[in-house]
Amino acid sequence: MEKVAIIGVGQTKYERDKKETFAELVFEATSKALEDAGISKDDVDNIVSVSSDFWDGRTISSMAISDASNAYGKDITTVEGDGTFGVLYGMMRILSGSFGVTIVCAHHKGTESNMRGITNCAFDPLVERKLGIDAISSAALQARRYMNRYGVHEEQLALVSVKNHKNAMRNPLALLPMDISVEDVMNSRKIADPLKLLDCSPVTDGACTLVLAAEREAKRLSTSKKRVWLKGTGHCSDAFRLGDRDLSDTRALKDAAKRAYTMAGISDPRKEIAVAEVYDAFSHMELMWLEGLGFCEDGAAGEQMERGVFNSDGKLPVNPSGGRLSSHPVQVAGLAAMAECALQLRGEAEDRQLEDPQTALVHGINGMCGQSHCVWILGK
């Protein structure tokens, strides 16, 4: 199978209340990604945009970013979901042999959206929506179930928030760089028991673009930038209704991770992965996903967090960018996580650069409480 590389990354700063339209954010990120790749827009032959009519408040929302994403006269399509799924479709299109250089772009203006209303619409319209359930209240149910099942404490959840906000202090693009303590998290306003304000990711605006290229194109296009290779991928979905799942179970993630590890030839992720960006929309999720990805036994991530295993100077640095807890532009988030790992592998992560990582893992989710997962292995 032909190899596919990330040859360029571009991101806006992640902020609240950005003045630009979402098309302008896409233009900024895409221009930066093309510049980073050292190629012109004419070298690109197709575009995968990642957008949602719900968050954009506009039907056929990809139409609004056609010009901004360089799609005029080109082959463009749209994935609705996390950016990691956009990269997946971009890679498929390249592997089909039909395309050489692909733009994958995602945008989000959370501060123009109604998060609770929009995520409420992800639930069954007849039975569940009327309960008023949304992304936060369902995540709270999941956190409680996870804590009860494995005896995890709220303080262990809080450690995730402390670590990620601290990591964000070294990321100039992050929305919420903060030096906080477990106590600060514990004392922050209760949002939905057991989740407190600092256990939850912030509403964020921003855009991210990656440029992907087939091996043949990556070699042809002259640039000094290092290539980062897409070595393995896997995605899988659990059942829809919360009542049909044990919310503390990570079977879909385990399946997705197994596919990605098999494809990348990884037999022991604990030894072979040097850095991971996992989808910490809420603090408890980082713990659950680390277990699902096989970095520790089920229920053991909290204890490992206490021992500092996942800190930037730990055995497996997790979310060096600051993660979703520090900036959470929905849909953009997984793409931004890929951008972070690409920069880490290129040795260009500036103040937060880890020591010569060789292999990185990126994880994205779709749906409520992480119903569907997409796992990526990136390598030098």
Q: Applying CB under 8 A, what is the total number of residues that bind another protein? A: 64
Name the one range near another protein by CB under 8 A: 6-14, 229-237, 268-276, 352-360.
229-237
CB of 147 to another protein, least distance (A): 24
Verify binding: residue 291, another protein, rule CB under 8 A: no
Contact call for residue 122 and another protein (CB under 8 A): yes
Q: How far is the CB of 329 from another protein (least distance, A)?
A: 16
CB of 217 to another protein, least distance (A): 13
102-121 positions binding another protein, by CB under 8 A: 118-119, 121
Q: What are phi and psi of 22, to 5 degrees?
A: -65, -25
Of the pair 273, 375, the CB lying nearest another protein is at 375
Q: How far is the CB of 252 from another protein (least distance, A)?
A: 6
Q: 301-309 — which CB contacts under 8 Å span 24+ positions?
A: 302/150, 302/152, 302/153, 302/156, 302/157, 302/159, 303/156, 305/156, 305/159, 305/160, 305/163, 306/156, 306/159
Nearer to another protein, 234 or 320 (CB): 234
Determine the 3-state secondary structure of 256 from DSSP: helix
Virtual torsion, Cα 308, 157, 359, 338, nearest 10 deg: -140
Cis peptide before 194 (omega within 30 of 0): yes
Distance in angstroms (rounded) separating the CA atoms of residues 330 and 230? 22
Cβ 195 vs Cβ 139: under 8 Å? yes
Q: How far is the CB of 201 from another protein (least distance, A)?
A: 17
Please report how close the Cβ of residue 173 comes to another protein at its closest, in angstroms: 26
Distance CA 213, CA 223 (A): 13
180 scored as a contact of another protein (CB under 8 A): no
- Looking only at residues 59 through 98 of this chain, which bind another protein when binding is defined by CB under 8 A? 59-60, 62-68, 71-81, 85, 88-89, 91-98
Closer Cβ to another protein, 65 or 147, answer by number: 65
**38 vs 367 by CB, closer to another protein:** 367
Which C-beta is closer to another protein: that of 59 or that of 222? 59
What are 124-127's contacts with CB under 8 Å, separation 24+? 124/240, 124/241
Nearest CA-CA partner of 359 in 257, 225, 168, 229: 229
Helix (H, G, I), strand (E, B) or coil at 244: helix
Tell me the C-alpha distance between 133 and 156, whole Å.
25
Residue 243 CB partners (closer than 8 Å, separation 6+): none
Interface mask (CB under 8 A) for another protein, residues 22-61, using x and -? -x----------------------------xxx--xxxx-
**CB-nearer residue toward another protein: 45 or 155:** 45
CB-based contacts of 187, cutoff 8 Å, min separation 6: none
Least Å from the CB of residue 126 to another protein: 8
Q: Structure tokens of 2? A: 């032909």
- Residue 252 engages another protein in binding (rule: CB under 8 A): yes
Q: Is 209 in the site for another protein (CB under 8 A)?
A: no
Pick 23 or 198: Cβ nearer another protein: 23
Binding mask 355-374 for another protein (x = CB under 8 A): -----------xxx--xx-x
The string of DSSP letters for 104-139 reads: EEEEEEGGGS-HHHHHHTTS-TTTTGGGT--HHHHH
Q: How far is the CB of 68 from another protein (least distance, A)?
A: 8
Within 13 Å of residue 345, how many CA atoms lie on the same side as its CB?
31
Residues forming the site for another protein (CB under 8 A): 1-2, 23, 52-54, 57-60, 62-68, 71-81, 85, 88-89, 91-98, 118-119, 121-122, 124-125, 233-240, 251-252, 255-256, 259, 366-368, 371-372, 374
